[in-house]
Amino acid sequence: MAMRMKQSTRIVDQNGFTLIELMVTLSVAIIVLSVGVPNYRGFVQDSLLVTQSNSFHSAIALTKSEAIKRSNRVTLCPSSDGTNCTGGTVWSNGWIVFTNPNGNAAVEAGEEILQVGAALTGGSSLSGTQDRITFTANGFSMGSNGRFNLCDSRGASYSKVIVLNNQGRIRAETGTGTCS
């Protein structure tokens, strides 16, 4: 009599992913990234412009508050070296806020530099209609009213504009700038 041997089949529990599951997961990830990455870049550019606009806006506000606090003229002007006004209407290379009792818009002995603004990054440009902003002791910026256009590579439709009137009021606009 021949003995028959019975073969047992064991079910092996496997942990892992099948090739199909991995391909579906990668496909979904690629679709999500292809939609998200361009939007993220725009978000980063918008955030940079807002940050730079706020920085310049804060420098104007500081200039005004220091003029009132000190009961004397305080000036904000473009500066590439952080110690002297460079003149001109391009503010992209930085700016300084300094006490300016004689109102000549030049940093001289005895005049204190209150703040140095860093040059803009990310290819942004800041230009305006004025080569300086001077506030008097009453907080007015007589003769310093103007528009300051902050632009990036996307052009005027994404620009930020800071508008200053003679009474020292500051307001911001979006998309109304003149970019070159």
Whether 12 is in a domain gets the answer no
CATH code of the domain containing 109 = 3.55.40.10
Instruction: Give 82: exposed, middle or buried? Use CB within 10 Å, 0-12, 13-18, 19+.
Output: middle
Whether 6 is in a domain gets the answer no
Domain enclosing residue 70, as ranges: 37-174
Whether 123 is in a domain gets the answer yes
pLDDT of residue 8: 60
CA distance 65 to 74: 9
Per-residue pLDDT of the chain (180 residues; tens, 9 = 90+): 555 666 666 666 667 788 898 899 999 999 988 887 878 888 999 999 999 999 999 999 999 999 999 999 999 999 999 999 998 999 999 999 999 999 898 999 999 999 999 999 999 999 999 999 999 999 999 887 899 999 999 999 999 999 999 999 999 999 999 987
Whether 10 is in a domain gets the answer no
Structure tokens at 179: 């970019």
Q: Number of folded domains in the chain? A: 1
Whether 18 is in a domain gets the answer no
Whether 17 is in a domain gets the answer no
pTM of the predicted structure, to 2 decimals: 0.81
Asked if residues 94 and 125 have their Cβ atoms less than 8 Å apart, the reply is no
Whether 29 is in a domain gets the answer no
Whether 13 is in a domain gets the answer no
